[in-house]
């Protein structure tokens, strides 16, 4: 009995600590009170539902349906009261950073798209009243901010220029953190680490030469300023020929098992034809034997 307790107690202790660690997801205090820079309108929540379906539903299921994936630990149902007790900032942080089996989505979704997901999840809380970040804080910079993106072909780099206009004067924005993302099939891919603009408001990223683009190597790029509290939601979308030219090959061009009959593999056609002939041959042989038995029976009856 004592030997059994020595084995069981460490196991129970480990599982208790593991479950306790899984339940307590600490969010930095400065991130808990973070607010959305825009109102969760119907259109925003609709966009959020799309992002949720693409990126979250595979594990968390449909909110309120309890059809989440049976993982360890179990994914939280966003419609539960426990989940809805999180502040907007806490939900934003958890979606952005991830933990354990839940991946980080900060390199997949932009900050605006994550806020759209938060807005969608709040539709499952009838008592929720949104608190929007005050307009005065939307751009602490105090003016309008613009991003420009270009391809430096001689250096094969992507240049992003940040300019700000306030009090009627346009000047470069120094030390602004810039992130560069490229649109892919299942979300956005962040290129390189985030970088800070120099005194001229310029930051440069290496062009992704080996990343497949369209037939001319064009990639859909998005650069945005990370510090939304300072500059608001500022981004620029541009298509540049900085990737590798990729000509998609038609799946029906060559002979394959999934192709039409005319493009099926020769060996498959021969094997199929031979199988059909053998099957029909067996059927005709059986019919012939039946007829032969019938003829023998008829002959015996006539003799008797």
Q: Give the model confidence (pLDDT) of 176-216 as tens digits.
A: 899 999 988 777 888 888 899 999 999 999 999 889 999 89
User: Which CATH number is 20-124's, of 1.10.4030.10, 1.10.3210.10, 1.10.760.10, 3.40.50.2300?
Assistant: 1.10.760.10
| pLDDT tens by residue, 109-159 | 888 889 999 999 999 999 999 987 654 344 567 788 999 999 999 999 999
The string of pLDDT tens digits covering residues 248-269 is 777 777 777 777 777 888 888 8
Q: In this predicted model, what pLDDT tens digit does every residue of 27-48 receive, in sequence order?
A: 998 888 888 878 899 999 999 9
Q: Residue 190 burial by CB count (10 A; 0-12/13-18/19+): exposed, middle or buried?
A: middle
**3-state DSSP helix/strand/coil percent for the chain, to nearest 5?**
40, 20, 40
Domain 139-241 in this protein, CATH class: mainly beta
Positions of E strands within 167-289: 169-172, 177-184, 187-196, 202-206, 218-225, 235-241
User: Would you kindly state where each structural domain of the chain is located, as residue ranges?
Assistant: 20-124, 139-241
pLDDT of 281 over the 50 cut? yes
CA-nearest of 253, 44, 268, 236 to 149 is: 236
Report the pLDDT value the prediction gives residue 84, as an integer from 0 to 100. 95
**What is the pTM (predicted TM-score) of this model?**
0.52
The Cα-based distances of 37 to 15, 90, 106, 128, 147 in angstroms read: 41, 15, 17, 17, 19
């Amino acid at each position: 009995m004592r030997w059994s307790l020595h084995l069981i107690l460490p196991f129970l202790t480990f599982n208790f600590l593991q479950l306790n660690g899984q339940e307590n997801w600490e969010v930095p205090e400065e991130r808990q009170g973070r607010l959305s820079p825009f109102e969760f309108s119907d259109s925003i929540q609709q966009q959020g539902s799309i992002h949720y379906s693409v990126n979250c539903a595979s594990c968390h299921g449909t909110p309120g349906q309890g059809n989440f994936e049976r993982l360890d630990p179990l994914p939280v149902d966003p419609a539960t009261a426990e989940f809805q007790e999180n502040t907007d900032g806490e939900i934003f942080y958890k979606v952005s950073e991830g933990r354990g089996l839940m991946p980080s989505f900060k390199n997949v979704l932009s900050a605006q798209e994550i806020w759209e997901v938060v807005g969608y999840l709040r539709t499952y809380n009838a008592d929720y009243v949104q608190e929007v970040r005050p307009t005065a804080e939307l751009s602490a910079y105090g003016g309008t901010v613009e991003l420009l993106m270009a391809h430096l072909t001689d250096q094969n780099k992507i240049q992003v220029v940040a300019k700000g206009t306030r009090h009627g004067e346009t000047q470069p924005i120094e030390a602004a953190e810039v992130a560069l993302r490229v649109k892919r099939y299942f979300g956005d891919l962040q290129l390189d680490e985030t970088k800070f603009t120099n005194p001229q408001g310029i930051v440069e990223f290496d062009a992704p030469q080996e990343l497949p683009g369209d037939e001319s190597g064009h990639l859909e790029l998005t650069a945005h300023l990370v510090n939304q509290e300072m500059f608001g939601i500022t981004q620029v979308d541009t298509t540049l020929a900085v990737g590798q030219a990729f000509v998609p090959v038609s799946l029906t061009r060559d002979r394959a098992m999934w192709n039409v009959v005319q493009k099926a593999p020769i060996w498959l056609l021969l094997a199929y034809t031979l199988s059909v002939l053998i099957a029909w041959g067996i059927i005709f042989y059986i019919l012939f034997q039946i007829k032969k038995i019938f003829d023998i029976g008829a002959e015996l009856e006539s003799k008797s």
